[in-house]
Amino acid sequence: MVTEVNLCGVTLKNPVIPASGTFGFGLEMAGEYDLNVLGGISLKGSTLEPRFGNECPRIAETPDGMLNSVGLQNPGVYALVEEKIPQLRKIFGGAVIANISGFSLEEYVKSCSIADKCEGVDILEVNVSCPNVHGGGMAFGTSACAAAEVTAAVKALCHKPVFIKLSPNVTDIVAIAKACEEAGADGLTLVNTLLGMRIDINRRVPILANRYGGFSGRAIFPIALRMVNQVKRACKIPIMGCGGVASASDVIEMMMAGATAVQVGAENLRNPYASKEIVEELPVLMQKLGIENINEIIGVA
């Protein structure tokens, strides 16, 4: 039974990848189980300079999901390549995906160039879709022209596969995906969180200090699935599907929609062993469904 998949020349033993922002730098879970069961890890988003992030409270629960407004808290890209990735590489042999955010075209290019030169990085995931910061991230991802501009600028200087992480908070995700493909993107990750809000009805104020935050969790799965399928039908480059994935069944469904690999996000926060359990369940479900090679189901729907 074959679970191995390939992302632009990078081989993953299985398609399961913890999503950026939900698994830290991998090191946080190293003492809990062998990370090498995973196909890859998308590391916590990094910016050029260290960031403290947004004011608290940053998290609000919702039925079948959560809102977060962490605001890209991270130690910066230099700490990523000089400390975090070398430490992770001592214990993990799977695909390492460096997730990069920026607040200007120049920041994206510089941060991606630094990560590209890091021997331990396999794939660059350029986040143009973060809804939790002002003046960056989603400002690029909601415009086809801006997303394409970031893509082209990063591709001009980087040699490793570049995946652009797209926002669902747009009217036409296909147009943005195609613009990134035409600008040279090697692949796409979709989707990031939807923009949402909760209100404390006793205090009559927003729960999040930042007012709005990124909505993730099981509730968004049908939306993510639809967008993955729409983009797969329009683009030829590979997709990492993400959004509400919580089971091996969700992984199969996401791959049938068009994803080559599948990221597990908020479910890791609810159950830190979620990705491991999905990896273990996947071959059992494949056998039940008569799937000999998981690649045969990519985009069948």
Active site members: 130
Q: CA 102 to CA 163: how far, in whole Å?
A: 15
Q: Any idea what the Cα angle at residue 83 is, between residues 82 and 85, rounded to 5°? A: 90
Is residue 206 helix, strand or coil? strand
Q: CA 216 to CA 126: how far, in whole Å?
A: 19
Q: How many CB atoms lie within 10 A of CB 48?
A: 21
Token pair belonging to 250: 């969700």
Rg (alpha carbons) of the chain, rounded to whole number: 18
Token pair belonging to 79: 């700490």
DSSP string, 120-177: T--EEEEE---TTSSSSTHHHHT-HHHHHHHHHHHHHH--S-EEEEPPS-SS-HHHHH
Q: State residue 124 phi and psi, 5-degree precision.
A: -100, 130
Beta strand 205-206 with 187-190 is unpaired
Q: CA 31 to CA 120: how far, in whole Å?
A: 20
